[in-house]
Chain A
Amino acid sequence: EVQLLESGGGLVQPGGSLRLSCAASGLTFNKYAISWVRQAPGKGLEWVSMISGNGENIYYADSVKGRFTVSRDNSKNTAYLQMNSLRAEDTAVYYCSKGRGLPDCWGQGTLVTVSS
């Protein structure tokens, strides 16, 4: 069974940093792109970033470009989202999902709260 498990969320002050992890199991990890998608409280889904299976192709939403960095370690079956210069509007549940055109597996999400 394919599983994704996010971790690393928490409470952080504005301007602070967090690194989220997305640990995968049950799949050939390096074959699949991983996307990060967030959902602010009571709001809809917002795509954040995607990294290709080999890590060579990376994309960001304009809202996080220059502040967030996506990466992956295929030897550890894990993807990461380094979030710097966090703002209140980054408060959300962050999900990782597998694939691009066929997002058939999602993690349970990790909550990031940016507040003083």
Chain B
Amino acid sequence: IVMTQTPLSSPVTLGQPASISCRSSESLVHSDGNTYLTWLHQRPGQPPRLLIYKISNRYSGVPDRFSGSGAGTDFTLKISRVEAEDVGVYYCTQATQFPITFGQGTRLEIK
């Protein structure tokens, strides 16, 4: 399954919203009824960290300015008000089907 993210780069003003799109080449609905679409955030020199799992579930400790939505093949990560700590690269990834695949990554930077 090919995961395609847009945009690949997103300059954002602090306090403004940001949105990242992720499209899969096939439906991510698993036979168990779940959709294993995950969003990760990676800061420079750090491992990825989990933000959102199963489309819209915010992981423990993730600020509520982050939200995930979508279904089937189209998914979106939104940040309601960007803060300085949000810079880095965001990846969508699917674990519905092997091989597990990642999007190319979207670099969020502050204008």
Residues of A participating in the B interface, judged by any CB pair closer than 8 Å:
35, 37, 44-47, 50, 59-62, 95, 97, 100-104, 106-109
B68 at the interface (CB under 8 A from A): no
Are B98 and A45 in touch, CB under 8 angstroms? no
B-side binding surface: helix, strand, loop or mixed? Answer: loop
- Of all chain B residues, the one with the shortest Cβ separation from A47 is B100
Interface residues of B in 13-72 (CB under 8 A from A): 34, 36, 38, 40, 42, 47-50, 53-54, 59-60
> How far, in whole Å, are A102 and B42 apart by their CA atoms in the complex?
16
Q: Given the interface contacts A101-B34, A103-B38, A106-B48, does A35 sit within 8 Å of B99 by beta carbon?
A: no
* Contact among B53, B59, B60, B99 for A47, CB-based, below 8 A: B99
Q: Given the interface contacts A45-B105, A47-B99, A47-B102, does A109 sit within 8 Å of B36 by beta carbon?
A: no
* Contact among A45, A46, A61, A62 for B48, CB-based, below 8 A: A45
B6 at the interface (CB under 8 A from A): no
How many A-B residue contacts, CB cutoff 8 Å? 62
* Contact among B34, B49, B59, B91 for A45, CB-based, below 8 A: B91
Q: Given the interface contacts A44-B105, A101-B38, A102-B38, does A61 sit within 8 Å of B99 by beta carbon?
A: yes
Are A102 and B53 in touch, CB under 8 angstroms? yes
Residue of B42, B59, B60, B100 contacting most chain A CB atoms (<10 Å): B100
Are A50 and B48 in touch, CB under 8 angstroms? no
B95 at the interface (CB under 8 A from A): yes
Are A59 and B98 in touch, CB under 8 angstroms? yes
